RNA sequence: CGGGGCGUAGCGCAGUCCGGUUAGCGCACUGGUUUUGGGAACCAGGAGUCGGAGGUUCGAAUCCUCUCGCCCCGACCA
């Protein structure tokens, strides 16, 4: 009998990918379903990851000239109605506030009272309410560009929630900017897409493909939507975030006008862009393994966890003294312009149990320190980017000297591994038959992980797009920005095509 | 809203078909002993208005009626 290696997470990715995803979140203690349907409770470990995402992105926003502000949670219904496409896109998923208080219903309960004269929508996105402010703030070309970001929660009444990937309420940031010219607004749209891409690759260690959305997939009300798409380990695509060029659509809807240098009044050009707590879902699915979460050091809540090992009081004293010394040395180190984040796990528990807990939580570096290490003046190090059996004894001075380099190495290894996976599962396909086989699981009842990104020609017709969606549940994730002009034939209808696009199954 | 399933301890479940004493099991939790560098073992203990309401019955987790909630599959989606 072949002995199967024990994994910390069951089911494994291979056995049941969605099941594995849920279990990783549970094992790492990141979040849980709340009493409110569709809404999750983000627990400290998950929230700390979000805080690191916020912190680093916020710096990048500030570096590109943006400032933070805050706008109301409620949007009067009439504001929402101003942009026709926008209404159509979001109407089906809006939470609506109709009353302002509760009163005794005479049966021991409460009933809503104080009916509002105008209903309020809980923001699914803030273009319209922010537009109302912008119309007052923008008067002259001297007021432009206006570069605002908001960190907020939004509500979209989705039918099928999934922790981090799709919850009724979620946390995000939304940037909203106003520009004097189309060129400026387009430049901003691309700039923020690039910021996101850099963040995804350099911080989350997730390789992404930048591209434009097709007409059917773009943001309701936008002229064009740009996206960055990442491949998860089940070979499906996840949209990480979007940057929209809104043209004059929202300026007209919200009456955002300015006087130009010639003294003439013009509508302004606007953009919006956002990423959400979904990035945490991306992180889990891009890097995690069958022992749980794997966190890139740059956004890990802890870089290093130290697990003391001792049998008695005497050993404990020696080990803890030794660890105090290490703590002091680590405290003076910096990684990615921040202090090293570390923790001594001195809980009254068995060593093995603690060790596995931190493996499941994805901490990049684990140190086991016992009497043996004290006497050899070293630390016993395990790294989350390597097999858990692969632990090495490192001299304490060497460890301290090299820790930032180790973290860089881990960050890079995680990225390279994900990049290799993406490349290996991206295929140029020019034959319709092959395309259909690529996206068809062999076992229909219990589909195995299959497919990937198909880089294929598309004629530009929404009919072909729809046909493929109906046949295979595969959609055009994006038209890559770096797609070269080349002659080819549409994978669906065979007509002339000038570009390849990315097809994939999506979250 | 269409199709399927489930509500019993903090979590996961058995028991329900065929009603019968103090409603069990695993994990988790608390205490103790022995352990400890690859996920500890043993002993003891705490914890439940069996989703809710009504009915049938000497007797209901179990049968009947109504009701509430949740999960999975479809359309939607950062």
pLDDT tens-place string over residues A55-69: 999 999 999 999 999
Same domain, A269 and A174: yes
| Residue A5 binned pLDDT confidence (cut-offs 50, 70, 90) | low
Q: Does the structure's ipTM exceed the value 0.85?
A: no
Same domain, A376 and A439: no
Q: Which nucleotide is nearest to A290 (CA to C1')?
A: B39
Q: Which nucleotide is nearest to A387 (CA to C1')?
A: B38
Per-residue model confidence as pLDDT tens digits over A322-341: 999 999 999 999 999 999 99
Q: Which nucleotide is nearest to A172 (CA to C1')?
A: B78
Total domain count for chain A?
Answer: 3
Bond before A393 cis per omega within 30 degrees: no
Same domain, A475 and A350: no
Per-residue model confidence as pLDDT tens digits over A422-471: 999 999 999 999 999 999 888 776 678 889 999 999 999 999 999 999 88
The residues facing A210 across adjacent strands are A228
Same domain, A260 and A409: no
Number of H helices, E strands in chain A: 14, 27
Residues 6 or more apart in contact with residue A458 via CB below 8 angstroms: A464, A465, A476, A490, A491, A492, A497, A499, A500, A501, A503
Integer Cα distance of A372 and A315 in angstroms: 10
A351, two tokens: 């060593």
Instruction: Report the distance from CA of residue A35 to the C1' of nucleotide B69 in Å, as an integer.
Output: 11
Last residue of a domain, one of A376, A404, A422: A422
In a domain, A87, yes or no: no
Instruction: Report the distance from CA of residue A75 to the C1' of nucleotide B50 in Å, as an integer.
Output: 45
Last residue of a domain, one of A287, A307, A342: A287
pLDDT at A443: 74
Integer Cα distance of A311 and A372 in angstroms: 12
For residue A407, which of A302, A486, A312, A308 has the smallest C-alpha distance? A302
Percent helix, strand and coil across chain A, each to the nearest 5: 35, 30, 35
In a domain, A320, yes or no: yes
Last residue of a domain, one of A217, A252, A287: A287
Instruction: Report the distance from CA of residue A36 to the C1' of nucleotide B8 in Å, as an integer.
Output: 23
Same domain, A229 and A360: no
Domain that holds residue A51: 17-73+124-287
Give the distance, in angstroms, between the CA of residue A350 and the centroid of all CA atoms in the same chain: 35
Listed in order, strand segments (DSSP E) in A16-161 are: 31-33, 40-42, 67-68, 74-76, 96-104, 110-122, 146-155
| Residue A111 binned pLDDT confidence (cut-offs 50, 70, 90) | confident
List alpha helices for A236-306, DSSP H: 249-254, 278-287
Using CB atoms within 10 Å of the CB of residue A55, give its burial: 0 to 12 exposed, 13 to 18 middle, 19+ buried: exposed
| Residue A1 binned pLDDT confidence (cut-offs 50, 70, 90) | very low
- Better pLDDT: A18 or A286: A286
Instruction: Report the distance from CA of residue A219 to the C1' of nucleotide B65 in Å, as an integer.
Output: 50
- Which long-range contacts does A392-401 make (Cβ < 8 Å, 24+ apart)? A396/A326, A396/A329, A400/A326, A400/A329, A400/A330, A400/A333
Per-residue model confidence as pLDDT tens digits over A133-151: 999 999 999 999 999 999 9
In a domain, A56, yes or no: yes
Same domain, A49 and A138: yes
Please say whether the beta carbons of A154 and A270 come within 8 A.
Answer: no
Same domain, A29 and A52: yes
pLDDT at A474: 93
In a domain, A457, yes or no: yes
């Amino acid at each position: 009998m072949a002995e199967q290696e024990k994994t910390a997470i069951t089911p494994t990715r291979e056995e049941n990918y969605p099941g594995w995803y849920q279990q990783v979140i549970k094992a790492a203690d990141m979040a849980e379903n709340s009493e409110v349907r569709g809404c999750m409770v983000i627990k400290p470990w998950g929230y700390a990851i979000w805080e690191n995402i916020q912190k680093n992105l916020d710096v990048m926003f500030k570096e590109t000239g943006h400032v933070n502000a805050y706008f109301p949670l409620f949007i009067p219904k009439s504001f929402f109605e101003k942009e026709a496409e926008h209404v159509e896109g979001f109407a089906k998923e809006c939470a609506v506030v109709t009353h302002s208080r509760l009163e005794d219903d005479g049966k021991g309960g409460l009933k809503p009272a104080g009916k509002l004269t105008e209903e309020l929508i809980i923001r699914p996105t803030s273009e319209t309410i922010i537009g109302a402010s912008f119309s007052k703030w923008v008067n002259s070309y001297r007021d432009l560009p206006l570069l605002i970001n908001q960190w907020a929660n939004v509500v979209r009444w989705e039918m099928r929630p999934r922790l981090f990937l799709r919850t009724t309420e979620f946390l995000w940031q939304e940037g909203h900017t106003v520009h004097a010219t189309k060129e400026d607004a387009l430049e901003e749209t691309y700039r923020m897409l690039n910021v996101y891409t850099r963040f995804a690759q350099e911080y989350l260690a997730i390789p992404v493909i930048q591209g434009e959305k097709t007409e059917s997939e773009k943001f309701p009300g936008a002229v064009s939507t740009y996206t960055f798409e990442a491949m998860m380990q089940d070979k499906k695509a996840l949209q990480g975030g979007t940057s929209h060029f809104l043209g004059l659509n929202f300026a007209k809807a919200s009456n955002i006008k300015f006087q130009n240098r010639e003294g003439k009044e013009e509508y302004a050009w606007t953009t919006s862009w956002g990423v959400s707590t979904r990035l945490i879902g991306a992180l889990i699915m891009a890097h995690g393994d069958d022992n749980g979460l794997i966190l890139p050091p740059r956004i890990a809540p802890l870089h290093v966890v130290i697990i003391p090992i001792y049998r008695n009081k005497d050993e404990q004293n020696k080990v803890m003294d030794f660890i105090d010394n290490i703590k002091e040395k680590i405290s003076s180190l910096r990684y990615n312009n921040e202090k090293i984040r570390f923790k001594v796990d001195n809980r009254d528990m068995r060593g093995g149990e603690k060790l596995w807990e931190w493996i499941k939580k994805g901490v990049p570096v684990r140190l086991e320190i016992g009497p043996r290490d004290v006497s050899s003046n070293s630390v016993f190090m395990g790294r989350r980017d390597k097999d858990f059996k692969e632990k090495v004894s490192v001299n304490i001075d060497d460890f301290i000297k090299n820790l930032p380099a180790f973290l860089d190495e881990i960050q890079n290894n995680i990225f390279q591994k994900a990049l290799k996976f993406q490349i290996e599962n991206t295929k140029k396909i020019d034959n319709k038959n092959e395309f259909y086989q690529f996206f068809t699981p062999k076992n229909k009842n219990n589909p195995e992980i299959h497919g990937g990104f198909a880089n294929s020609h598309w004629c530009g017709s929404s009919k072909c797009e729809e046909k493929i969606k109906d046949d295979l549940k595969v959609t055009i994730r994006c038209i890559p920005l770096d797609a070269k002009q080349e002659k080819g034939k549409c994978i669906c209808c065979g007509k002339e095509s000038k570009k390849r696009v990315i097809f994939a199954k999506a979250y």
